[in-house]
Chains A and B, each alone.
Chain A
Amino acid sequence: MKDEILKLDSITKSFDNKKILDCLNLEIKRNEFITLLGPSGCGKSTTLRIIGGFEKPDEGRVLFEGKDITGLSPDKRNVNTVFQKYSLFPHMDVEENIAFGLKLKKKSPQYIKDKIKYALKLVNMDGYEKRKPVSLSGGQQQRVAIARAIVNEPEILLLDEPLGALDLKLRHDMQRELIKIKKEVGITFVYVTHDQEEALTMSDRIIVMNKGIIQQMGTSKSIYDEPQNAFVADFIGASNIIDGIMKRDRLVQIQNVPIPCVDVGFGKDELVDVVIRPEDLMIVKEQDGYLKGIVLSVIFKGAYYEIKVRVGEYEWSVQSVDPAVPGTLVGLTIHPDNIQIMHKPHSADAEVVKEDE
């Protein structure tokens, strides 16, 4: 395939006999914004470090445009990294930091000067050439780090939770800017984060990982709307995940109540996982709902109210624009479309997923 730029082929990596990556296969397309998403310890950072050349896989190969680069050291790879802790050189000013890679490549002073000017403009930092990293804020340091990586014109830019240390507002601004920069320079971005909202906002494609295994890959929308297992559903946004029984096609029994759904092809009376997003549940009058329960708490979240409703032993999480009154009896109802039915995990891989819930 011509537009495939990087391929990870059966990568396995262990630290201290603990398997971090287990036979990972991944293809990255040219000019793609791909995000590795998962909880800490899921192997996403290790994957990035293997692409960058900072770790060598125990088994498997890294192919860059079809060539095996598994054994190549970081300085010989045409990829650059933006680190979480910025990692600017503290003894150099902004200009020297950005020029570092270009000087090593023996570029002409005029070329370097032009590149610095261009890169600082790109990250909205013009005028900061002579500042030392310690005198910059976290967000500014990260902008310089991005500029420092981009001037080298890498084929792939690796970003290891680059916004993790910034506050929420700044993170949102930087997300928009990263998308803008990505469009401007037109290179492949491989982005690592544990923040699902960040992943959904920015990515062309998301790889959800857990325990060294890819759980699901796809576009933001497909991952959000159609999680393939309980782990993905739980990790991508808050969800209600509950046991159900498939009575027949298009009818699932939850908490002893048959509810119409749209899923077909399950066995009769098969035990399943049912995922229902909090924003898909509707609070109605007691007699109009499929499920009847008591309102436990109502928390105002700004754009919506987060309401907990107890039905039997289970606490449903509901997001609604209308408040409810704690202690009252209410009904819960849902559109058949918004019920996600998933097979209970059978394989060992999927079992791993369940443990982590």
Chain B
Amino acid sequence: MSKGVTVNKRSWLSAPYAVWIIGFTLIPMIVIFQYALTDKSGAFTLDNVGALLDPIHLKALVFSLEIAVGCTVICILLAYPLVLALKRLNLGRQGFAMFVLILPMWMNFILRILAWQMILSSNGILNLILQKLGMGSLNIANSGIAIMIGVVYDYFPYMVLPIYNAVMEIDEDVIEAAKDLGAGSVTVFGKIILPLSVPGLLSGIVMVFVPSMTSFVVSDILGGGKLQLIGNIIEQEFTKSANWHLGSGLSVSLMVFVLISMAFTMKNDAEGKGSAIW
């Protein structure tokens, strides 16, 4: 009896969290679903949700997918060498390197993207340097490449941190045992480090893929407003067109799409360790 009382007392501590969840996640979700499934007159319709299949929306979705997959793959390819290099450092230096990695995240997001715009624009710093070196100039401003650079720069830490944690958890003895049994560096990575860091890798994929799939600020600034991600279209429906029904409908179908692609990723995680993020 007394036990039940203490549990009840303790459960009050979660009240702020419950209020937060209900007020800022659950209710907005219900509202979004309501908008998505109705038209302006309030009648039920599936047109808004199905609008994702319109050619113009589909094109944006495919482009978003390209950016998201590309960003995720590039982040993975960059993260592993960095993590393996960090692993060799002593702990103090590892902390410093991590600090440097996270440092840009303390600056305003928009500011960072604007800085990239300055660097990549046709009269920007990058071309200035290339011209000084007599290497001509690059025309990557307002292109998919510029957007890709922006999302990779922004989401890279979210890939590094979970992979770093997973790799650091691998017992050094296990790696030595593999070497002892005849494994060279490549085999050690492929057979030991990579499979044992899959939980971190999956967390990283979720944390990079989902936001880069749905982002719109990066493409707005670095894409010059010409290249539209699905996020840009949703944003415009809410702001310029003031068509909340269509915006909500696209959001809901995008969410379903992302959930499906994530479920597909997680299926490959036989142990289910990576699903901690869910």
A residues near B (Cβ < 8 Å) are 52, 54, 73-75, 79-81, 83, 85, 87-91, 100-101, 104-105, 145, 148-149, 152
Tell me, yes or no, whether B171 is within 8 Å of chain A by CB.
yes
| Residues B173 and A85 in contact, CB atoms below 8 Å apart | yes
Least Cβ–Cβ distance between A159 and chain B, in angstroms:
12
- Nearest neighbor of B198 in chain A, beta-carbon distance: A91
Q: A81-B180, A87-B171, A90-B174 are in contact. List 7 more A-B contacts (CB 8 A).
A: A73-B184, A81-B176, A85-B173, A89-B192, A101-B182, A104-B181, A152-B182
Least Cβ–Cβ distance between A93 and chain B, in angstroms:
12
Q: How far is the CA of A74 from the CA of B271 in the complex (A)?
A: 31
| Residues A80 and B180 in contact, CB atoms below 8 Å apart | yes
Of A52, A88, A91, A104, the residue contacting B183 (CB under 8 A) is A104
Q: How far is the CA of A144 from the CA of B181 in the complex (A)?
A: 14
A87-B173, A89-B192, A90-B196 as given contacts; A104 in contact with B187, CB under 8 Å: yes
Using Cβ atoms and an 8 Å threshold, which residues of chain B touch A54?
176, 179-180
Identify 30 residue pairs between A and B in the complex whose beta-carbon atoms are under 8 Å apart, listed by A's number. Answer: A54-B179, A54-B180, A74-B179, A74-B180, A75-B179, A75-B181, A80-B181, A81-B176, A81-B177, A83-B177, A85-B171, A85-B173, A87-B174, A87-B177, A88-B177, A89-B174, A89-B191, A89-B192, A90-B174, A91-B271, A100-B181, A100-B183, A100-B191, A104-B181, A104-B187, A145-B177, A148-B177, A149-B180, A149-B181, A152-B182
Tell me, yes or no, whether B28 is within 8 Å of chain A by CB.
no
Using Cβ atoms and an 8 Å threshold, which residues of chain B touch A100?
178, 181, 183, 191
Tell me, yes or no, whether B195 is within 8 Å of chain A by CB.
yes
| Residues A75 and B176 in contact, CB atoms below 8 Å apart | no
Q: How far is the CA of A148 from the CA of B196 in the complex (A)?
A: 19
- Nearest neighbor of B170 in chain A, beta-carbon distance: A90
A89-B192, A90-B196 as given contacts; A75 in contact with B171, CB under 8 Å: no
Q: How far is the CA of A125 from the CA of B177 in the complex (A)?
A: 20
Q: How far is the CA of A91 from the CA of B184 in the complex (A)?
A: 19
Listed residue (B174, B177, B178, B184) with the most chain A CB atoms within 10 angstroms of its CB: B177
Using Cβ atoms and an 8 Å threshold, which residues of chain B touch A85?
171, 173
Q: How far is the CA of A52 from the CA of B182 in the complex (A)?
A: 12
| Residues A89 and B176 in contact, CB atoms below 8 Å apart | no
Q: Give the 8 A-B residue pairs with the shortest CB-CB distance, closest first.
A: A101-B181, A87-B173, A87-B177, A74-B179, A104-B182, A75-B182, A81-B180, A91-B195
Using Cβ atoms and an 8 Å threshold, which residues of chain A touch B187?
104
Least Cβ–Cβ distance between B119 and chain A, in angstroms:
42
| Residues B180 and A75 in contact, CB atoms below 8 Å apart | yes
Least Cβ–Cβ distance between A330 and chain B, in angstroms:
52
